[in-house]
């Protein structure tokens, strides 16, 4: 169990810390201790920095509508292409032979 503190601004403009209690997994604790030692910082500082990173992400959990529109446009453009004859012009053996010839 860890006590996690984060800064908020009081009405006087001074940052104040609010106590939060969180549970983390054993592996997270080991990694947190290791990273804090390596960086020569307090574990609480790393926790606050991690929280800041998460809170800064604007689209956390929200789909990127531009990416989805681009994907939909691509799918529609592919669907508009004429269909092939449905018959392949190669055999599995020919592909295998071609692959082997490239290795030698």
| Per-residue pLDDT at 1 | 46
Is residue 19 within 8 Å of 3, Cβ to Cβ?
yes
| Per-residue pLDDT at 57 | 73
| Per-residue pLDDT at 87 | 82
| Per-residue pLDDT at 90 | 86
| Per-residue pLDDT at 45 | 94
- Which tokens is 41 given? 């910082």
DSSP string, the chain: -EEEEEEEE-TTS-EEEEEEEE---HHHHHHHHHHHHHHT--HHHHHHHHHHHHHH-TTTT---HHHHHHHHHHHHHHHTSPP--S--S--HHHHHHHHHHHH-
| Per-residue pLDDT at 15 | 76
Give the C-alpha separation, 99 to 93, whole Å.
Answer: 10
| Per-residue pLDDT at 58 | 61
pLDDT tens-digit profile, the chain (104 residues): 455 444 555 566 667 889 999 999 999 999 999 999 999 999 999 999 999 888 877 655 677 889 999 999 999 999 998 887 778 888 999 999 999 998 86
């Amino acid at each position: 169990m860890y006590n996690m503190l984060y800064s908020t601004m009081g009405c006087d403009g001074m940052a104040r810390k609010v106590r939060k209690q969180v549970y983390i997994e054993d592996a997270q604790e080991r990694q947190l201790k290791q990273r804090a030692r390596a960086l020569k910082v307090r574990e609480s500082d790393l926790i606050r920095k991690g929280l800041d990173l998460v809170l800064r992400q604007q689209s956390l959990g929200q789909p990127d509508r531009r990416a989805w529109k681009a994907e939909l446009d691509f799918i529609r453009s592919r669907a508009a292409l004429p269909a092939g004859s449905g018959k392949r012009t190669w055999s599995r053996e020919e592909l295998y032979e071609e692959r082997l010839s490239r290795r030698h």
